[in-house]
Amino acid sequence: MKFIWFSALWLLLFGVISNGLSANNSSRSDVVTLGAILSFDSPIGKVAKIAIEEAVKDVNVNSSVLKGTKLVVKMHDSNCSGFLGMVGAIQFMETDAVAIIGPESSVVAHTLSFVTNDLQVPLLSYAATDPTLSSLQFPYFVRTTQSDLYQMTAIADIVTHYGWKQVVVIYLDDDYGRNGMSALGDALAARRCEISYKVGITPRVSNRDDILDILVKVKNVESRIIVLHTYSTIGFMVFSLAKYLGMTGDGYVWIATDWLTSVADSIADFPPEQMDDLQGALVLRQHTADSERKRAFSKKWVKRTAGTLGLSSYGFYAYDTVWLVAHAIDAFFRQGGIVSFSKYSRLQEVEGSTLHLEAMSIFDGGPLLLKNILQSDFIGLSGTVKFNSDGSLIHPAYDVMNVVGSGFHRIGYWSKNSGLSTVPPEVLYTMPPNLSSSNQVLKPVVWPGDTVDTPRGWSFPENGNLLRIGVPNRASFREFVARVRGTDDFKGFCIDVFTAAETLLPYPFHYKFIPFGDGRKNPSYDEIVQKITTGELDGVVGDIAIVTNRTKEVDFTQPFATSGLVIVAPFKRLNTGAWAFLRPFSPQMWSVTAIFFIVVGVVVWILEHRINDEFRGPPKRQIITVVWFSLSTMFFAQRENTMSTLGRGVLIIWLFVVLIINSSYTASLTSILTVQQIYSPIKGIDSLKETDGPIGYQEGSFSEHYLSGEIGIAKSRLVSLGSPEEYATALQKGPRNGGVAAVVDERPYVELFLSSQCKFRIVGQEFTRSGWGFAFPRESPFAIDFSTAILQLSENGDLQRIHDKWLTKSSCSKDNTEIYSDQLHLKSFWGLFLICGVVCFVSLLIYFLRILQKYRRAARDEPDSEDQSTSHTKRLRTLLSIIDEKVDPYRRHKRRKLESLSNDNTENGIETNAKTPRRLQSSIF
């Protein structure tokens, strides 16, 4: 009986499973059609065509994928034409294709994406790398290769790695080229680099002469880093003509995108003459991970093509694309999907038209199939096939190749996870991201010209034009910059530094000096720097101060002279005299010190008066004691002893203050009596600002803007002076006679002025820090190269020799060139006085609180008086008596000792009581 029931249950279960399998199989189509739009004659199209055919064969013989459903791919030759590609797509829509593979052209992909979006047919491109082709605009577009967004990021990382700042881009003037170039510009900008020059080549129309004209323009720009982003036919022509023009030699850098490796990998025998044109170039290639399946497929490929066609990375992506669709269709059937199409209601047949638009239909299962495609995750020939949230393949990576000799040598890799590295990306993607600059590394490169030295990335343009270098035509201080009369030549300290640095440049520097100014007055340096930003000048040479507002507009070289604003003022020599001992302290310092001597004496007297006999007595005597005690602390010779804890605390703090004051006074007085002193009423920029006298500045200098804008001195107080002679005249007259109180100028000018004017000195410290440098346009490589040359001049001593040649001519003594304040002011000691004052206040507060406590106890013991006025008088007398009361400081100690001895005598049988005579009690103890 059990056996019968078991058999029935088994048959029932078997029937359910069979029905389910038959129902699942019934939803599967016998044949699924795919469309493929290729360019049969292009290098990528030739490889992709065979790769797709091989993939279809492998899918159909693999029973674990489509499980009986046959995959059919119908191919259409677009010939890289958007119109022909669209026609092919429409034809596929008439044959019920569930997906379209291709196209390889980004331009065609843009056109087809509009069609496939409306008809809900996934478009899977293995070669359209245009970064603007995104799933946001075209939901049914699936890129099964890497976007040029990553390729351009890799190029930007290479440019940054070698320290270049500007690049030239030659691109194909279509969607593919323009959008790729735009992505490169964004990637470079994020790394503080830029595209200095870009030129587009018109596809299909450009000939040899057109490209030759473009290269001549490129040759006349400074940058020597050239990025070539085109198709193969135009790309090889560019390299050939570049070699003809001498643009593939030493100093140039060529970076080609992956079009070059895709062609080179697909050509079995690369022409030697083309390889010669490419020597030293850097090339990118889409990285495909090494695996056993990849090597097996490569061997199969050689047999299939008989060695006549190579296998590029796009062949691996095309092969994986077929498998991607096969896996997605299998999942589509397993989820109950049915291949069905419905009419496109928005299409209406045009009357009299021969186009059968009504044959086009919408793929009903398109959304489900697209979902399965984007959720795919398997290992293909190219590596992991999996998409991220924005519809791009994960783990983008490129091989960085260097063309050397007869082949392409890999010098490293680029990955989104770690940038440039010599470690394979599949290893790096298993580690945490690391994009630090120290982690960026590539193997040595053989550059164009067969050199291993990294090119500097730019050169002087070969257009025959001389660089226009502006020079201020000064009217004063001509030792720095001076125009040679009757010529356009200049001489001076700054000119000698420039010419010496120019000889150290590793290339010829062709220039001509452009004078700025009439020579009768000093020109505005801000105006001459501004001419660089407007393009009127290519640089400025001279005594140009490096200040903030100028650095926002131009780039400066390394400073070749230190500078900064200083104050020049008249002075007088101070004799020691009979009252020299008063000069160490300012009057305010003397006053505060004297007051504190008296205050501390009074505080100590108050704290000691009740318990110390030395601070008691007649009023006259007490006044003398206070004064004597205060003054004697100056020499630590006070005779009176302090007995209270509060008094001793105050005295300790005060003696510390006195020690500091004495030491400072002694040091200052020693300096005054032993060193020749000079005096000026102006001590620095603060005291100059507080006065109301006129202030002189050099005509054309930035000091006017600094004094008015930064310091806040009224412009009405500023007087423009044009020469050292005017400096001396204005300073001698002084502010009361139509002159100035001081002159504010840069240190080099002041030092040259003081070398012949001995009546003036520098007052205070330098209150700005800057230097002189040569100015060039922003991002100009000249600024870097001249900075390097200036550092070399400094290191080998030439810079100092040039300085001594022009600026060492002093006829004045160098003793005490700068004036400093010789007095000690209260602001240097207010912290000490504050501490002492706080201690005195706290001690008095504690003292009076104690007095108040004693007064309250005494007031409670006194009987209340009926007369109010008598009561107040009595309380006041009580308070004064407590304050003036003599207290034995040892009384409390004696009382405690008496009580202790009394207890001991009681224990020994000796009794003491109140009747015991006081003398007897004293004798006992």
**Which string of DSSP letters, residue by residue, matches 557-598?**
---SEEE-EEEEEE-EEEP--TTGGGTTB-HHHHHHHHHHHH
CA distance 533 to 679: 46
Give the position of tokens 């400094």.
794
Name the 3-class secondary structure at 894: helix
Cis peptide before 777 (omega within 30 of 0): no
* Chain segment 862-919, per-residue pLDDT in tens: 655 555 556 667 666 666 666 666 666 555 455 555 555 555 554 554 444 444 443 3
Which is more confident, 339 or 882? 339
Across 579-594, average pLDDT: 78
Strands (E), 39-139: 70-77, 99-101, 123-125
Which pLDDT value is given to residue 645?
78
Average pLDDT in the 208-217 region?
91
SS (H, E, C) 354-390: CCCHHHCEEECCHHHHHHHHHCCEEECCCCEEEECCC
Given a cut of 90, whether residue 515 has pLDDT beyond it is yes
Of the listed ranges 705-709, 849-853, 891-895, 908-912, the least confidently predicted one is: 908-912
- Two tokens at 15? 């029937």
pLDDT of residue 866: 52
Q: What is the pLDDT of residue 704?
A: 86
Residues 290-312: tens digit of each pLDDT? 999 999 999 999 999 988 899 99
Is residue 642 within 8 Å of 651, Cβ to Cβ?
yes
Beta strands in 202-262 (DSSP E): 225-229, 253-256
Average confidence score pLDDT of the chain: 82
Q: According to the model, what pLDDT value does residue 24 have? A: 44
What was the pLDDT predicted at 878?
A: 67
Residues paired with 71 in a beta bridge: 32
Q: So what's the pLDDT on residue 330?
A: 93
Per-residue model confidence as pLDDT tens digits over 447-490 = 999 999 999 888 876 665 788 999 999 999 999 999 998 888 99
Contact 124, 100 (CB under 8 A): yes
The most confident of 369-383, 596-610, 633-647, 853-867, by mean pLDDT? 369-383
pLDDT in tens, 804-845: 999 876 656 555 444 445 567 777 788 888 888 888 888 888
Task: Specify the higher pLDDT residue, 306 or 924.
Answer: 306
Indicate if the alpha-carbon torsion angle 35, 136, 257, 323 is positive or negative.
negative
Contacts of residue 898, defined as CB under 8 A and 6 or more positions apart, other chains included, come to 921, 925
> Residue 437's pLDDT band (boundaries 50, 70, 90)?
confident
What CA–CA distance (Å, rounded) separates 835 from 12? 103
CA distance 200 to 851: 98
In the structure encoding, which two tokens stand for residue 918, read together?
A: 């006081």
pLDDT of 633 reads 77
Position 16 scores a pLDDT of: 35
pLDDT of 222 higher than 80? yes
Is the pLDDT assigned to residue 580 strictly greater than 70?
A: no
- If one compares 321 and 853, the residue with the highest pLDDT of the two is 321
Residue 400's alpha-carbon distances to 149, 195, 274, in angstroms, are: 16, 21, 20
Q: Over pLDDT 90: what percentage of the chain? A: 43
> Residue 40 — very low, low, confident or very high, per pLDDT cuts 50/70/90?
confident
Find the mean pLDDT for residues 410-422: 95
Mean pLDDT for the stretch of residues 45-74? 92
Identify the residue with better confidence: 602 or 370: 370
Q: From CA 130, how far away is CA 30, in angstroms rounded?
A: 36
Q: Is the pLDDT of residue 3 over 60?
A: no
Listed range (238-242, 436-440, 871-875, 918-922) with the worst mean pLDDT: 918-922
Task: Flag whether pLDDT at 753 surpasses 70.
Answer: yes
Provide the whole-model pTM: 0.67
pLDDT at 667: 80
Strands (E), 473-538: 482-483, 490-491, 511-516
- pLDDT band for 348, please (50, 70, 90 cuts): low
Residue-wise pLDDT for 598-622, tens only, equals: 888 788 877 777 776 666 767 777 7
**Spatial separation of the C-alpha atoms in residues 100 and 133, rounded to whole Å:** 16
DSSP SS3 for 122 = coil
What value does the mean pLDDT take over residues 306-326?
93
CB 253, CB 448: distance < 8 Å: yes
Predicted local confidence at residue 9, as pLDDT: 34
- 857 has a pLDDT exceeding 90: no
